[in-house]
Structure 1
Amino acid sequence: MGFAKQRLARLHEVMNGYVVRGELPGAVAAVSRGGETHIEAFGTQAVGGTEPMRRDTIFRIASNTKPITAAAALILVEECVLRLDDPVDELLPELADRRVLARPDGPLDETVPANRPITLRDLLTFRFGLGVVLGDPPIFRALLEAGLAPGVDVVDLSIDEWMRRLGELPLAYQPGEQWLYHTGSDVLGVLIARASGKSLPDFLRERIFEPLGMRDTGFHVPADQLHRLAPSYLAGPGGELVRRDDPVDSPPKFPVGGGGLVSTVDDYLAFYRMLLDGGRYGRERILSRPAVALMCTDQLTDQQKADARAILGESAGWAFGQAVVTRRVDLSTTPGQFGWSGGLGTTAFGDPAEDLIGILLSQRAMDSAAPPKHFSDFRTTVYQALSD
């Protein structure tokens, strides 16, 4: 099992085309199958820059943080520090005794009591009652005004203040009722820190990053490595790429579990290889095989998947911290494939049936919830390159 050399050349041609046309400043792509791994860098780290993109370039991986946070929570479940269906009230008192909007689009003062407490499972599956609420209902405006709206920007609040503000708002839906993107992972990061007695950065470093050799993954880039951090860009009104941030080397006040990490292609490949190998990486075991299987199994009802179609698409459900493909609808959707994408330009997947990993890191932020063409083209060219 591996890749066809001539078809890998097609992957190069397609992805390099995005750089040549100016749609991406650069990118780093990795494909791995059956012990064969190919990694290639395209373009430059910055628009108009001369520094070439490199294999060790550091990227903001945004929502590709979510599967790592979910894995950290399952480590604590395996140690019986946390349990999937226990209420989180003791460790997250801000979320105890919740009120729920009488109507998701209704006023904030029209509420009913929650039917039950919020559980760890609710946070992992994004069904705890808050997150991305489509449209512009009062609850979403309240999240925005409180500085709690889901997004890719650094949260300028302390952890305790963020939780206090979240606890002051009603839930949009009853716990377990509806899939709402993102916020569950941020709350999950707080739960991991309080349950373990360590900060989220320290817990991830000790239990995941160091055992996997992920030396360049964390919540900030040290000052002496900032030259390796690729700037992040947005598409301007005319399609031009506009720089959206400047590198900083100070740790964030709130290291968010939903999107705060930076990483490299080799680091993220190690994490996905661990998942594809059932929780083992070399001599290290991060999770048990049953825990990884659970993390990669769809947890949503048919109705919840239908309601989440604007974000998850036509062929996927949601497991723990990542999507999972439920049916084949094109060349790159294999049932059982798991993975997710980051809003600042990164995407990754693992396919157990093919023993396949694909990772693409770029600097161009997504324009909408729909995957950009370079994401879908990357996945298509990865699958067409399989040797058998």
Structure 2
Amino acid sequence: MSFDGSAIKALLDDAVSKGAIHGIAAVVVDRSGQLFHHAAGEAGQHAMFRNASMTKAIATTAALQFVEKGVLSLDATVESILPEFGQLQVLDGFDGDKPRLRPPASKATVRQLMTHSAGLGYFFLNENLKRYHELTGEPHPLTGLKRSLSIPLVNDPGTAWEYGTNTDWLGLIVEKLSVQSLGSYLKQHVYGPLGMNDSTFVPSAEQRGRLLRVMQRQADGTLTPSGIDLPPTSEWDAAGHGSYGTVQDYGRFLQAWLNDGAGILEPATVRMALQDHLAPIKLPEAMTPTVPELSNLVPPSPAPQSWGLGFCLTLADLPGMRSSGTADWAGIFNSFYWLDRSRGVGAVLMTQILPFFDMPVVETLIGFETAVYQQVGAAVPAA
């Protein structure tokens, strides 16, 4: 399709020139390839980004390859593959300053890891878990210490959607089944086939030289260099947050999903993964942070949402924007993507700013999505 990206280019350049964003890059793809790419400010044409939670969809894709081969069942219990998962208890509250733990009422499954309903949480979104770390001194996942995965569950598996270390455990399943590190498996079976040549868990010195620095939004709206970053080394390839890459690489990944999994998955697997696998469990209205330096409040979505395997799903057409069935997610450093198979378009917008859900970036994202659908046509015209 012919694609005029001039409005998007102006939008990104304007966000930088106003001082709202220090560096930003965007890519738009269809089934046949890249339609648009632009980088502004400190983000060079080949800038590297911390993918953070955008790693999750890629790691889930790896696990789905094992489902496809018949080696992994979605309804297998996690502990049947990783016995150490069976050691995890549920954090039921506190007796004074002592965490109260009990065995889970049910066993978590692989599908629940993929839909964030296995009972695991994150310290920066769960008050009890934050308190648990403070009281016990146990490391959290952003330390790079693998022991951080052995923290308690916060819910019984299969009872609630809770954002957490689910995908990290899924990555450990991929490592167990492939008998190699997640990074080397992805290089052979996802990154390599798709030409995602800058995607890695361990950036080289040259790649680190292209890495956009992390900035922190201050109360007065200005940006200052952030003291928060991913750990320089990690004891495991963190499937939940640990990969790096370029926007162009992530665009290639979205293109494969748009194109019926071409190169990495079978069409039937793509269709199956983008169904609602969370119902009857409902998503929470909003996501409330416990660490304001890491995330702002994420307000309720304007459309109903649920979860497929590895992706959040929008369940209604948004006028002038994405269609019902669109998959999306984001990374904590304010990077975002969506994948609209019914319109045949996917897009990525990446910055490196904390805390998450930064309003100048979100406003830019809305402008970006609107401009994309002015070019490709939306399911429902904007009134």
Instruction: Tell me which interval the TM-score lies in, with the shorter structure as reference length.
Output: 0.7 to 0.9
Looking at structure 1, the residues matched to 344 and 125 of structure 2 have their Cα atoms a distance apart, in angstroms, of 39
Q: Map Cα deviations across residues 145-199 of structure 1 (whole Å, 9 max, x no partner).
A: 555546xx4x331x3x334x32xx3x22111111111310122112221222111
Identify which of 6, 9, 16 aligns with 1:12: 9
Over 3 Å counting, the alpha-carbon distance change for 1:337 and 1:177 in structure 2 is same
Identify which of 332, 335, 352 aligns with 2:324: 335
Q: Which residue is equivalent to 2:295?
A: none
Over 3 Å counting, the alpha-carbon distance change for 1:146 and 1:175 in structure 2 is farther
Q: Which residue is equivalent to 1:293?
A: 271
Q: Which residue is equivalent to 1:23?
A: 20
Q: How does 1:37-48 map to 2 (within 5 A)?
A: 37-45=34-42
Q: Does residue 90 of the first structure (1) align with residue 87 of the second (2)?
A: no
Q: Which residue is equivalent to 2:352?
A: 363
Q: Which residue is equivalent to 1:80?
A: 70
Looking at structure 2, the residues matched to 80 and 272 of structure 1 have their Cα atoms a distance apart, in angstroms, of 24
Looking at structure 2, the residues matched to 20 and 386 of structure 1 have their Cα atoms a distance apart, in angstroms, of 27
Q: Does residue 59 of the first structure (1) align with residue 49 of the second (2)?
A: yes
Aligned length: 365
Q: How does 1:244-283 map to 2 (within 5 A)?
A: 244=226, 251-280=233-262
Q: Does residue 223 of the first structure (1) align with residue 205 of the second (2)?
A: yes
Looking at structure 2, the residues matched to 307 and 208 of structure 1 have their Cα atoms a distance apart, in angstroms, of 34
Deviation at 1:222, TM superposition (A): 0.6
Most deviating of 190-199 and 128-137: 128-137
Preserved contact between residue 360 and residue 375 of structure 1 (Cα < 8 Å):
yes
SS of the counterpart of 2:80? coil
SS of the counterpart of 1:83? coil
Preserved contact between residue 58 and residue 230 of structure 1 (Cα < 8 Å):
yes
Over 3 Å counting, the alpha-carbon distance change for 1:336 and 1:134 in structure 2 is same
Looking at structure 2, the residues matched to 309 and 274 of structure 1 have their Cα atoms a distance apart, in angstroms, of 30
Identify which of 240, 244, 247 aligns with 2:222: 240
Over 3 Å counting, the alpha-carbon distance change for 1:86 and 1:246 in structure 2 is closer
Deviation at 1:323, TM superposition (A): 0.9
Over 3 Å counting, the alpha-carbon distance change for 1:106 and 1:379 in structure 2 is farther
Deviation at 1:80, TM superposition (A): 2.5
Looking at structure 1, the residues matched to 95 and 332 of structure 2 have their Cα atoms a distance apart, in angstroms, of 26
Tell me how large the CA RMSD over aligned residues is: 3.0
Q: Does residue 324 of the first structure (1) align with residue 313 of the second (2)?
A: yes
Deviation at 1:126, TM superposition (A): 0.6
Q: Does residue 205 of the first structure (1) align with residue 176 of the second (2)?
A: no
SS of the counterpart of 2:37? strand
Q: Which residue is equivalent to 1:48?
A: none
Q: Which residue is equivalent to 1:125?
A: 115
Gaps of 5+ in 2: 289-297, 379-383
Preserved contact between residue 108 and residue 138 of structure 1 (Cα < 8 Å):
no
Over 3 Å counting, the alpha-carbon distance change for 1:302 and 1:249 in structure 2 is closer
Deviation at 1:106, TM superposition (A): 10
Percent sequence identity is 26
Deviation at 1:101, TM superposition (A): 4.7
Q: Does residue 347 of the first structure (1) align with residue 344 of the second (2)?
A: no
TM-score, length-scaled by structure 1: 0.84
Looking at structure 2, the residues matched to 59 and 74 of structure 1 have their Cα atoms a distance apart, in angstroms, of 25
Q: Does residue 162 of the first structure (1) align with residue 162 of the second (2)?
A: no
Deviation at 1:108, TM superposition (A): 6.6
Preserved contact between residue 39 and residue 55 of structure 1 (Cα < 8 Å):
no
Q: How does 1:141-156 map to 2 (within 5 A)?
A: 141-143=131-133, 146-147=137-138, 149=140, 153=142, 155-156=143-144
Deviation at 1:385, TM superposition (A): 2.4
Amino acid at match of 1:352: R
Preserved contact between residue 55 and residue 265 of structure 1 (Cα < 8 Å):
no
Q: Does residue 313 of the first structure (1) align with residue 294 of the second (2)?
A: no
Looking at structure 2, the residues matched to 326 and 106 of structure 1 have their Cα atoms a distance apart, in angstroms, of 43
Looking at structure 2, the residues matched to 136 and 114 of structure 1 have their Cα atoms a distance apart, in angstroms, of 18
Over 3 Å counting, the alpha-carbon distance change for 1:108 and 1:379 in structure 2 is farther
Over 3 Å counting, the alpha-carbon distance change for 1:141 and 1:368 in structure 2 is farther
Preserved contact between residue 23 and residue 41 of structure 2 (Cα < 8 Å):
yes
Over 3 Å counting, the alpha-carbon distance change for 1:330 and 1:234 in structure 2 is farther
Q: Map Cα deviations across residues 204-259 of structure 1 (whole Å, 9 max, x no partner).
A: 11111111111100012211333221111111232221222699996522221111
Looking at structure 2, the residues matched to 264 and 321 of structure 1 have their Cα atoms a distance apart, in angstroms, of 20
